[in-house]
Amino acid sequence: MKPINQDALDVLFFNARTYTAWQDKPVSDDLLRRIYEVMKWAPTSANSNPGRILFLRTRESKERLKPALQPGNIDKTMSAPVVAILSYDETFYDHLPELFPNNASAKDWFASAPEFSKATAFRNGSLQGGYFILAARALGLDCGPMSGFDNAKVDQEFFGGTTFKSNFLCNLGYGDPTKLFPRNPRLSFEQACRLM
């Protein structure tokens, strides 16, 4: 596989920031669809694809989210053009006959093991959340991923009666670079990694 160039690395990583302020510029439904069409091709274990995304685009839908937000996250979330609720389906395995047809018993691996299934849904849903952020950045959007909300309230408000569980939120739009604070440091390789 050919490595991507420095410009692409800059977009995805080196110049990527968590935005908290947004330009008054809309995000089209077509672009939101495109994010999914890009991210869905990245790998998950057994092609499980448990990630589910709810895009909140209207003031009314964001008002429904507001009671679940911690106070410090309200303004930046309510002002974002789009708020994505990144979630996962705990019964993702119902789709495995379609998504993983090369092994007819794959659904049973998970349906018969609830704890294994939940861990797989969360792990791979989180992985897809990372792919989501990379896809959004690659397509020209800025992101503001965050925790800082009440998952149980979000699940009750938006996913009641389903097998979906919220994982994290990601504000989307075109960030206002004049409102960025200086970039925080990261751990060095020696602090974070070991070679064995």
pLDDT at residue 97, rounded to an integer: 97
Question: Which CATH code, of 3.40.190.10, 1.20.210.10, 3.40.50.2300, 3.40.109.10, is assigned to 19-175?
Answer: 3.40.109.10
Reading phi first (left if > 0) and then psi (alpha if -120 to 50, else beta), residue 45 is in: beta
Q: Residue 118, exposed/middle/buried by CB under 10 A (0-12, 13-18, 19+)? A: middle
pLDDT tens sequence across 97-154: 999 999 999 999 999 999 999 999 999 999 999 999 999 999 999 999 999 999 999 9
CA atoms within 13 A of residue 128's CA, in its CB half-sphere:
31
Q: How far apart are the first and last CA of the chain?
A: 26
The two tokens of residue 128 are: 């897809």
Q: Cα–chain-centroid distance for residue 18?
A: 13
Domain boundaries, the chain: 19-175
pLDDT at residue 12, rounded to an integer: 97
Distance CA 179, CA 107 (A): 48
pLDDT at residue 36, rounded to an integer: 98
pLDDT at residue 61, rounded to an integer: 98
The two tokens of residue 181 are: 């604070």
Please provide the size of the chain in residues: 196
pLDDT at residue 19, rounded to an integer: 96
Task: Show the low-confidence residues of the chain (pLDDT under 70).
Answer: none
